[in-house]
Amino acid sequence: MWALLIILLVLWAGLAVFGFVIKGLLWLAVLAIVLFLATVVIGILRRSAATKK
């Protein structure tokens, strides 16, 4: 599970950098940042739910 989250975070960060480098793909950077933040939140929520059991 954690490996998948780390892979997704690296992928989203890479897409954000790619989107900022190519000015025409600014929408890609915004989308990647939103997905990065969503992945972090999901990871934190799942970790806290797993520790409560």
What single-letter amino acid sits at 49? A
What pLDDT, on the 0 to 100 scale, is given for residue 29?
84
CA angle 41/17/1 to nearest 5° reads 35
| Cα 7 off chain centre by | 9
Q: What's the pTM value of the predicted model, to 2 decimals?
A: 0.71
For 14-53, the pLDDT digits (tens) are 888 888 888 778 888 888 899 999 999 999 898 887 787 6
What pLDDT, on the 0 to 100 scale, is given for residue 5?
85
Nearest to 5 by CA among 48, 41, 32, 50: 41
